[in-house]
Structure 1
Amino acid sequence: MLGVIRFYCLAIFAITSGLFFQRSHGQTVTPTQCATSVHAIIARGQAATGETGFDPLNVMASLQNLILQQIPGSTSLGLPYQYGADDKSVAVHDGAQMLQNYVTSYVASCPKAKIAVVGYSLGACLTMDAICGTSSIGFIPITALDKKYASDVIAVIAYGDETWVPLQSWNVGTCEVGLGTFPRLAPWTCEPFASSIHSYCDIGDSQCCSPFPLDNNAAHHAYVAKYDQDVVDFIKQRL
């Protein structure tokens, strides 16, 4: 009950306080800057304790490199959301809003755009919220990306998403039973983008596959090395 009350209090505060969130930024490019194949927008995980400096890709730099190397005509960037924010709910809301704005701005600039959105950990939460809208207790509400963009967003990748729930057609990985820390209560809102989504969650990841932290959460840190090539192959298939 307290979680539900907090959820709605945050929602009311979000609406009434324009100073609470970082301002969203769009991504308007010139026609010559449009990708001729896929444009990848990548949201890294939360900053580690003691991390300094600006690093919008972090460990996701390896996936960016694979995309640029293996898909000719591709472009990519790291989403500059508040990955170092102390309040996870603020970071997810701000990042989801920013990602939606990046997608809509890019499509407006590049009408033939093909976009892949990728998120890891905290970045996965905001990625799925941006696509599906919010339905997890504890996160500030945001509406889903308009389904008219389903033909533009050709791949949605989530690594270790804390809003993960079982029995979804887009689930990939070894976790079959369990829940994310902030489970998505209305996963059907993802359906307009279902064929584009791959959500990776493995047993041993206590953030997406609780209550099964069989290896001290090591699985949560293994997605990049384990699945990056699979992600690139999926993007190629979707193109």
Structure 2
Amino acid sequence: MTVSSLAFRLLILATFIVPSIAQAINPADCASSVHLLLLRGEGTGDDLNVLDTIQNLVLEQIPGATSLGVPYQHGDSDKQFAAYNGSVLLQQYIAGYATTCPDSKIAVLGYSLGAVATMNAICGVSSLLITHAVEALDFKYASNVIAVVAYGDETYVPLQSWNVGNCTIGAGIYPRLDPGACEPFASSLKSYCDYGDYQCCSILPDDANAAHHTYFTKYNQDVVAFIQSRLG
């Protein structure tokens, strides 16, 4: 094997490696209520983008809450790799935080590409159109992860108990073939998808995809109430 061909193979291999990045949490800084992990949609820039709205509501209305925008590769031109990267990092963050802060609870919210990463991290990959496999989150974390919310998830399928919104017959661009894999976390799940969002409700008229951008104004307060209810 030539040096150039070896270098090329190593480059290809490196493309699929996601570094292990555990949350560096001092036990003294563990949330006294809930720790919110946020996965934004695709694009360059900071790790929150429009998700700063839901972050602010949680921090204002749930005493003792903390939050973090998960720094996955949301600006990568390869959306499938970006979603894979987000799924793996999210699982690592959940595991790390649950180990350091076992008495704190975790809530996750993903939007658009971040919703795909979130749902794949919880349920595993089961769409034939998504090529980077991810196993479902270990059920041992079910007592830590008390809320998982997706806005405009491209793996959305209808008729699931955790679905919210008025998309009742549409499906996402990458429909989940095994939604049953989500069942261990069903009580913690909410997946919001509305008519007019062609990314999660793709067989219906797209309405210029306007619905994909209205979840924050329509549902943020509902999400806060859901997290509060799950905290008991």
TM-score between both structures, scaled by the size of structure 1: 0.89
Alignment of 1:21 onto 2:22: no
Alignment of 1:199 onto 2:199: no
Answer yes or no: is the 8 Å Cα contact 2:105–2:146 preserved in 1: yes
Alignment of 1:61 onto 2:57: no
Unaligned runs of at least 5 residues, structure 1:
1-12
Alignment of 1:89 onto 2:89: no
Query: Which residue of the other structure, out of 128, 131, 151, is the alignment partner of 1:159?
Result: 151
Aligned to 2:101: 110
What do the CA deviations read for 1:6-64 (whole angstroms, capped 9, x no partner)? xxxxxxx9xx82443342311131111100000000000011xxx5xx31000000000
Q: CA deviation at 1:136?
A: 1.1
Q: Which one has the largest radius of gyration?
A: 2
Partner of 1:181: helix, strand, or coil? coil
**Percent of aligned pairs sharing the same letter:** 58
Answer yes or no: is the 8 Å Cα contact 1:169–1:194 preserved in 2: yes
Moved over 3 A (4+): none
Letter in 2 for 1:40: L
Supply the distance in 2 between the matched residues of 1:19 and 1:211 (Cα, whole angstroms). Answer: 33
Alignment of 1:208 onto 2:204: no
Aligned to 2:66: 75
Supply the distance in 1 between the matched residues of 2:85 and 2:139 (Cα, whole angstroms). Answer: 20
Alignment of 1:157-236 (within 5 A): 157-236=149-228
Supply the distance in 2 between the matched residues of 1:43 and 1:28 (Cα, whole angstroms). Answer: 18
Q: CA deviation at 1:138?
A: 2.6
Alignment of 1:33 onto 2:29: yes
Partner of 2:191: helix, strand, or coil? strand
Supply the distance in 1 between the matched residues of 2:120 and 2:38 (Cα, whole angstroms). Answer: 14
Partner of 1:166: helix, strand, or coil? coil
Supply the distance in 2 between the matched residues of 1:92 and 1:69 (Cα, whole angstroms). Answer: 29
Let me know the Cα RMSD of the aligned residues: 1.3
Q: CA deviation at 1:237?
A: 0.3
Q: CA deviation at 1:215?
A: 1.4
Aligned to 2:89: 98
Partner of 2:207: helix, strand, or coil? coil
Q: Which moved more, 1:86-95 or 1:22-31?
A: 22-31
Supply the distance in 2 between the matched residues of 1:32 and 1:116 (Cα, whole angstroms). Answer: 19
Aligned to 1:43: 39
Answer yes or no: is the 8 Å Cα contact 2:139–2:184 preserved in 1: yes
Unaligned runs of at least 5 residues, structure 2:
1-8
Alignment of 1:122 onto 2:113: yes
Answer yes or no: is the 8 Å Cα contact 1:21–1:90 preserved in 2: no
Q: Which moved more, 1:209-218 or 1:32-41?
A: 209-218
Letter in 2 for 1:69: E
Supply the distance in 1 between the matched residues of 2:14 and 2:48 (Cα, whole angstroms). Answer: 28
Answer yes or no: is the 8 Å Cα contact 1:204–1:215 preserved in 2: yes
Q: CA deviation at 1:226?
A: 0.9
Answer yes or no: is the 8 Å Cα contact 2:18–2:88 preserved in 1: no
Aligned to 1:237: 229
Q: CA deviation at 1:211?
A: 1.1
Answer yes or no: is the 8 Å Cα contact 1:28–1:109 preserved in 2: no
